[in-house]
Structure 1
């Protein structure tokens, strides 16, 4: 059963973790409070804000309380779906204004383009919202790369360390899990994908290996035909 689709993580895989923690997160920390206040002023019952209230089970939380919650989540890097949605909207402004350019490793750009031309279907699975994923690739340092991908998946498909999430994604893609190659820099994610039946390849861009998985230092070293 040969590989027909490639599912890739973003942070530490296609893109630098430093970009997320040194560019995206500080930008959100700076601009998210004003965005939440404006949102609450326009519509106190905004679904975006209501989603935060629902996640913390505080139905009466006002804008300032929500800002405090979101700030704590960002400090702790909590993978809350409502936070990711709000961050994505704030980042959209940063990308559109030119303040942010999405980082993508040159080797990732090169091989993603080559794989698409070779007929592989490409997908993204990240803890960041689908909107945030699209922004990184739409406003990347290499230009708009969104045309390379057939679809995007985030935590609405489940957490990245649970095998069931990858089974759902395989079903959504419409291929047996064994025909999908998953790329990530996190061994627990690779373990979960492997448990679902997917093939796996770990990215360790500096050094070391991801136990139990083929590990490479760049996309150039990945040949989907060998998995």
Structure 2
């Protein structure tokens, strides 16, 4: 793998980064093991949410977090979401904290990816990173590969369902050190659902290059499909612990097991899939149907997201 990473983009035949000006990476299951989120970040947030709220209750930031969760709970109630835990807007500090804790644990049990939940989780994780109780784990190929990619002039971005703050905390506090300088910008679900092609169109506008000059890496086929519909190149990342990919996924997308493979792959058929000849694309009719639903979608309620939470 180290040999692959030392090859330059120009030397690779063909390089999967040929013609790419921007690389967008998912986090969980792509740069970071799923186990880190499930076994470290989630338990830390759940175990510390009550003490965090008690300690920070009067802080403006915490009040904003509580307000966002109250509004989401009210919307869930109005929408008839089963099992929703309501949060009163008036009452004692203790009663409100208890309701928020119960709501957060309910959302986590349901594996929801709401912006309000991710925001509070990010603030709880921030304390864990600051105290050294949390150190982010990356796959060993990620740091060296991203370093070389940046050195060769490709801008690197992150798109995750975790808040931008949580993303920066993760990459700023890895076991390999602070890697924030490798990234040009970060995107979260405030820009839209990761399985909605419209979200990737918005990211393309912000990055400022043509969609075909952007490569998106994710472990989730539905996200790769959405990115492809927006005109981006997409590739799936198969890692230990990730959900098994089907034969159809292997037919429709390039699949890599390491970022080192970005610097060259001998499989011309895989390269053709990356170039978009059969890269999870859908016909125009499907694209139109997707566009019709974009205005009504609420990014805050992106329960259908993948398990990318960091």
TM-score, length-scaled by structure 1: 0.93
Q: Distance in 2 between matches of 1:55 and 1:135?
A: 25
One of 202, 205, 209 as aligned partner of 2:236: 202
Shift of 1:224: 8.1
Q: Deviations over 1:141-166 (max 9, x none)?
A: 11100000000000001111100011
Say whether residues 1:213 and 2:270 are aligned partners.
no
Please name the residue that 1:23 is paired with. Answer: 40
Consecutive unaligned residues of structure 1, counting only runs of 5 or more, are none
SS at match of 1:152: strand
Please name the residue that 2:172 is paired with. Answer: 138
Between 1:72-81 and 1:217-226, the stretch displaced more is 217-226
Please name the residue that 1:166 is paired with. Answer: 200
Alignment length (residue pairs): 227
Q: Of the two, which has the highest radius of gyration?
A: 2
Matches within 5 A, 1:1-227: 2-42=19-59, 46-57=63-74, 60=89, 62-206=96-240, 208=245, 210-211=249-250, 212-223=252-263, 227=275
> Does structure 2 retain, via aligned residues, the 8 Å contact 1:3–1:224?
no
SS at match of 2:127: helix
Over 3 Å counting, the alpha-carbon distance change for 1:44 and 1:152 in structure 2 is closer
Q: Distance in 2 between matches of 1:123 and 1:96?
A: 24
Shift of 1:42: 5.0
Shift of 1:63: 2.1
SS at match of 1:182: strand
Root-mean-square deviation over aligned CA pairs:
2.1
Consecutive unaligned residues of structure 2, counting only runs of 5 or more, are 1-17, 75-86, 91-95, 266-270, 276-310
SS at match of 2:57: helix
**Structure whose residues are more often helix by fraction:** 1
